[in-house]
Amino acid sequence: MKNFKILITDHLAEEGYRILNADSEVDYELRAGIKNSELKPILKDYDAIITRSGTTVDKDLLSDTGKLRIIGRAGVGLDNVDIEEASKRGIIVMNAPTGNTLAAVELTLGLILSAARKIPSADFHVRNDGWDRKRFLGVQLYGKALGIVGLGRIGRNVAVRANSFGMRVFAYDPYIKAETAESMGVTLFKTLDELLAHSDIVTLHTPLTAETKNLITREKIAIMKDGAIFINCARGGLVEESALAEALKSGKLFSAATDVYEEEPPIHSALKSIDNLFLTPHIGANTEEGQKGVAVIVCEQVLNALHGRAYQFAVNTPFERNRLSPDMQRFFDVSERLGRLAGQLTNGRVQELRLIMAGKRFNDSFVEHAFDSPFNYQPFTFAAIKGFLEFFVHEAVSFINAPYFAKDRGIVVTETKVQEYNKMSDHVILTVKTDEEETVYTATVFSDGVGRIVGVGPFRLDLIPSGMYLYFRNVDTPGIVGYVGTLLGKHNINIANFELTRLSPNGEAISFVYVDEPITQAVLDEMSGYPGIIEVKFLKV
């Protein structure tokens, strides 16, 4: 019996199957073109699913995900995957963003040339015994202004090639810096309108998101130069197709070319009847190299994630532990354990979790998020929330879904970075506020590289948080430690270590008794009746 089952819902290049075949722990099944109605009841039996654009991984499909942990997209666009729903369910969503970049770049260049010289119509004309050369008066690219909307992987590579044609290259991309664009020989405009007004040829290279849907409307086309050329090799849905059709028919635009459509295939589209528009059937990624690229990347990444190895292209994991420095990994781990301990010691309805990272090292290790997350926390905050919620939430909590669970439960999460907190540096401090109490938990990593919990409320301690503990709070009176030792011995529970800390002689004390066996509720009940004992819990950290 293999450990992992993968379902593939669209054809992949041979190289992808070769990678899967080489993994003795993996069983995969190819169900190319499977309908969502057939897919929905079986999805829960797979650890991972690999799709292309043919499968719409929507909320309905994700309503019963069972053991599904990974959605792998053999391509760039993730507009067919409900990433938020997957995240809420703790499922990693990954794509293969670099595999087909050059394929899409080269098709874009092909479409620009086709539209500028009307090459497809000229071909059709000659095949039909035509020789009317005046009909095919084109425009030259040299000296023209190319306006790139979205200066990402594809946009940048289009820019490099357009520069070599002697074009002036402009771009609009609100998420990149002007200097970055300049270093590629591209002038960045501040607004889309400016770009449209200055470009002879406009080419789209943004993802389809709520923000970019219908980016190019009738009003935007009106801003474009008369006689401009328009190219879309990115996504249908970025353009209002009816407006594009009108602009081509009226002669506002010289010509256009598109590889992508609002509805694919565009069976009922009005675009098909327009002769200064050139159409391709979403083949931007379709080169041997492009298909091999995405298949290899997605299969390798899915296997890496299944085996718990580092993977690069997840779009909804806020960070990757393996990519943190070893020092930061230790802080990350102790933050998770700090959250876990706090989660089990907390009483009352949780209202707020406040994480403070104290120390310069946290500024130096600031993690930039690779994707647009609604929760732009640092890894330590994700770790603390995840650890904390494990004991409140019955569903499996992961670093991906933990912030959603917190939000759903009305828990306000904040994080702060400071140089020093109460004279402490290089500490992670978690404050838990409930309707009954507010408690501060503190952790650090000692020079021996081992993480410690060093504060629980007013108590100072030195606890290596790993394993099972009997925790109790009591009034510091003689005999209690002896009583607890005798009781555990009576129940055959071995004590490995004992951490006791008190506020003052005869004041309150807390203890963490490191035990080798779980402690039953009956033992806890017996202990809680003993004079001087205020609270007893069994903890797993």
List residues near ligand NAD by CB under 6 A: 76-77, 97, 100-101, 104, 149-155, 172-176, 205-208, 211-212, 233-235, 259-260, 282, 284-285
Residue nearest to ligand NAD (CB): 152
Nearer to ligand MLT (CB atom), residue 287 or residue 329? 287
The residues, ordered by sequence, that sit 6+ positions from 308 with a Cβ below 8 Å of its Cβ are none
The residues, ordered by sequence, that sit 6+ positions from 286 with a Cβ below 8 Å of its Cβ are 103
Smallest gap from residue 173 Cβ to ligand MLT (A): 18
Alpha helices in 2-100 (DSSP H): 14-21, 36-42, 83-88
172 binds, among ligand NAD, ligand MLT, none (CB under 5 to 8 A by kind): ligand NAD
For the chain, how big is the Rg over CA atoms in Å?
Answer: 30
333 token code pair = 């781990």
List the one residue from 7, 61, 65, 75 that touches ligand MLT (CB under 6 A). Answer: 75
Task: Kindly state whether residue 83 participates in binding ligand MLT, applying the rule CB under 6 A.
Answer: no
Range 265-324, binding ligand MLT (CB under 6 A): 284-285
- Under DSSP, is residue 93 helix (H, G, I), strand (E, B) or coil? strand
Q: To the nearest 10°, the Cα dihedral for 154, 159, 161, 164?
A: -170
Smallest gap from residue 201 Cβ to ligand NAD (A): 16
From the candidates 73, 89, 235, 337, give the one annotated as an active-site residue.
Answer: 235
- Residue 506 backbone class (left: φ over 0; alpha: ψ -120 to 50; beta: rest): left
Q: Could you tell me if 403 and 387 are in contact, meaning their C-beta atoms sit under 8 angstroms apart?
A: no
Nearer to ligand MLT (CB atom), residue 293 or residue 465? 293
Task: Kindly state whether residue 76 participates in binding ligand MLT, applying the rule CB under 6 A.
Answer: yes
List the one residue from 20, 34, 47, 53 that touches ligand MLT (CB under 6 A). Answer: 53
Smallest gap from residue 285 Cβ to ligand MLT (A): 4
- Extended beta strands in 83-221, E state: 92-95, 145-149, 168-172, 187-188, 201-204
How many residues touch ligand MLT (CB under 6 A)?
8
53 binds, among ligand NAD, ligand MLT, none (CB under 5 to 8 A by kind): ligand MLT
Q: Could you tell me if 527 and 484 are in contact, meaning their C-beta atoms sit under 8 angstroms apart?
A: yes
Task: Kindly state whether residue 338 participates in binding ligand MLT, applying the rule CB under 6 A.
Answer: no
394 is catalytic: no
Smallest gap from residue 327 Cβ to ligand MLT (A): 37
Smallest gap from residue 232 Cβ to ligand NAD (A): 9
The residues, ordered by sequence, that sit 6+ positions from 127 with a Cβ below 8 Å of its Cβ are none
Smallest gap from residue 52 Cβ to ligand MLT (A): 4
Nearer to ligand NAD (CB atom), residue 236 or residue 455? 236
Smallest gap from residue 293 Cβ to ligand MLT (A): 10
264 is catalytic: yes
Nearer to ligand MLT (CB atom), residue 101 or residue 365? 101
Nearer to ligand MLT (CB atom), residue 104 or residue 453? 104
151 binds, among ligand NAD, ligand MLT, none (CB under 5 to 8 A by kind): ligand NAD
Pairing relation of β-strands 438-445 and 451-456?
antiparallel
Closest listed residue to residue 40, CA positions, set 7, 80, 3, 73: 7
- Reported as half-sphere exposure (CB side, CA atoms, 13 A), residue 438 has a value of 6
From the candidates 69, 89, 205, 282, give the one annotated as an active-site residue.
Answer: 282
Tell me: cis bond preceding 458? Omega within 30 of 0 counts: no
- Extended beta strands in 82-214, E state: 92-95, 145-149, 168-172, 187-188, 201-204
- % helix / strand / coil in the chain, to the nearest 5? 35, 25, 40
Q: Which stretch binds ligand MLT (CB under 6 A): 74-82, 272-280, 464-472, 513-521?
A: 74-82
206 binds, among ligand NAD, ligand MLT, none (CB under 5 to 8 A by kind): ligand NAD
Closest listed residue to residue 39, CA positions, set 57, 12, 59: 57
Task: Kindly state whether residue 100 participates in binding ligand MLT, applying the rule CB under 6 A.
Answer: yes
Nearer to ligand MLT (CB atom), residue 96 or residue 162? 96
Closest listed residue to residue 165, CA positions, set 215, 207, 203, 197: 203
From the candidates 182, 211, 264, 438, give the one annotated as an active-site residue.
Answer: 264
Task: Specify burial of residue 478 (Cβ count, 10 A radius: 0-12, 13-18, 19+).
Answer: exposed
52 binds, among ligand NAD, ligand MLT, none (CB under 5 to 8 A by kind): ligand MLT
Pairing relation of β-strands 277-279 and 253-258?
parallel
Smallest gap from residue 435 Cβ to ligand MLT (A): 48
The residues, ordered by sequence, that sit 6+ positions from 232 with a Cβ below 8 Å of its Cβ are 203, 204, 238, 239, 256, 257, 258, 259, 260
Q: Which stretch binds ligand MLT (CB under 6 A): 69-77, 191-199, 220-228, 422-430?
A: 69-77
Nearer to ligand MLT (CB atom), residue 207 or residue 485? 207
Q: Which residues are catalytic?
A: 235, 264, 282
Query: Where does this chain bind ligand MLT (CB under 6 A)?
Result: 52-53, 75-77, 100, 284-285
